[in-house]
């Protein structure tokens, strides 16, 4: 049985969500119209596939039917029940059930591990190690190419995240203590990893529209904050944009990195648990007419 919300109850929630997303994406949308790019703030819309217009669309999640919802019932993965619009859970699971199960297994495995700290963001350094092909070519390396290579060579690179590792240069890959693959993703991801924290946004929007949009937006905001540290600790000089470097080649920079990494890991674990709970609810069998679980 769905909870029914009258228009007067849900419309302000939708409007508040749209306003918050508009605030968070305004600069990106303006740059896009002008054909400009930002190496920090635009990442979430170039690396990830969820457009601002999709993020802006408010959903209450499964089990909530919206009265006077206009054409919402015709939206993908929705249906109309007694004049109200709601997510069509059977259709959603038919199309995305395998995705929900993968997300659940990945996040549950990651949540159960202790955060591994002290990678110091060297994945960004390994992406330009001994290479003339710089990913953010409009921004200088603050230590130059030789200095950047030296930092990599003086440290142990221990990146466990495949989607970061796959961008390492050929010379950098053998220096990594593990060799992540897509097939080992569930076995390797851990909650201290900045990229695993950012990816919570990806897993959240892949559960849309079956997930409340406020949870998706919280994951987006975490990803935005994590991306700042990701690039402040990178080899690039972004001071022109107002970002002060976290100099991970120094003891002071390492300490700052680990402190902020711990904070992000804690935020990520709380969101990870909430996403796992959503997956559990989606995959739970419906109650039988007698109130007993179906088998």
- Residue 276 makes CB contacts below 8 A (sequence gap 6+) with 104, 107, 108, 111
Other Cβ atoms within 10 Å of 106 Cβ, number:
21
- Among the residue ranges 29-38, 71-80, 163-172, the one predicted with the least confidence is 29-38
What is the rounded distance in angstroms from the CA atom of residue 32 to the CA atom of residue 37?
7
Render the burial of 42-78: b for 16+ CB within 10 Å, e for the rest.
bbbbeebebebeebbbbbbbbebbbeebeebbebebb
Q: Calculate what percentage of the chain has a pLDDT beyond 90.
A: 85
- Residue 293: the pLDDT is 42
For the cut 80, the answer to whether the pLDDT of residue 135 exceeds it is no
pLDDT tens, residue by residue, 235-278: 999 999 999 999 999 999 999 999 999 999 999 999 999 999 99
Q: How far from each other are the two terminal CA atoms of the chain, in whole angstroms?
A: 20
Look at residue 291 and tell me whether its pLDDT is greater than 50.
Answer: no
pLDDT tops 50 at residue 115: yes
- Of 220, 203, 199, the residue nearest 103 (C-alpha): 203
Mean pLDDT of the chain: 93
Confidence of residue 286 (pLDDT cuts 50, 70, 90): low
Please say whether the beta carbons of 103 and 278 come within 8 A: no
Q: What's the pLDDT at 137?
A: 66
Write down the pLDDT at residue 112: 97
Strand-pairing partners, residue 65, are 4
Site of tokens 């305004």:
26
Q: Which residues of 14-29 are buried (b: 16+ CB within 10 A; e: fewer)?
A: beebeebbeebbeebe
What's the pLDDT score for residue 32?
A: 86
Assess contact for 67 and 83: CB atoms under 8 A: yes
82: Cβ–Cβ under 8 A, 6 or more apart, which residues?
65
User: Tell me, what's the pLDDT at 165?
Assistant: 96
Strand partners, 198: none
pLDDT value for 139: 87
pLDDT at 265: 98
């Amino acid at each position: 049985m769905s909870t029914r919300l009258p228009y007067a109850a849900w419309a302000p929630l939708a409007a508040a969500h749209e306003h918050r997303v508009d605030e968070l994406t305004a600069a990106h949308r303006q740059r896009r119209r002008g054909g400009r790019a930002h190496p920090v703030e635009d990442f979430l819309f170039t690396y990830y596939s969820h457009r601002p217009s999709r993020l802006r669309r408010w959903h209450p999640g499964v089990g909530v039917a919206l009265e006077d919802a206009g054409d919402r019932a015709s939206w993908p993965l929705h249906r109309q029940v007694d004049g109200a619009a709601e997510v069509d859970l059977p259709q959603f699971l038919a199309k995305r059930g395998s995705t929900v199960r993968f997300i659940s297994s990945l996040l549950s495995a990651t949540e159960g591990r202790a955060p591994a700290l002290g990678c110091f963001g060297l994945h960004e350094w390994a992406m330009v190690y001994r290479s003339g092909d710089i990913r953010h070519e409009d921004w200088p390396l603050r230590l130059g190419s030789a200095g950047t290579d030296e930092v990599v060579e003086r440290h142990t690179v221990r990146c466990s995240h495949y989607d970061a590792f796959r961008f390492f240069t050929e010379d950098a890959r053998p220096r990594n203590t593990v060799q992540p693959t897509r097939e080992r993703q569930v076995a390797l991801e851990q909650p201290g990893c900045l990229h695993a924290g950012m990816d919570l946004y990806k897993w959240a929007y892949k559960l849309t529209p079956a997930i409340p949009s406020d949870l998706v937006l919280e994951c987006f905001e975490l990803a935005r904050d994590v991306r700042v540290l990701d690039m402040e600790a990178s080899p690039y000089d972004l001071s022109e944009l107002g970002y002060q470097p976290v100099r991970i080649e120094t003891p002071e920079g390492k300490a700052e990195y680990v402190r902020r990494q711990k904070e992000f890991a804690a935020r990520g674990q709380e969101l990870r648990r909430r996403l796992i709970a959503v997956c559990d609810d989606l995959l739970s069998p419906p109650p039988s007419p007698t109130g007993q679980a179906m088998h």
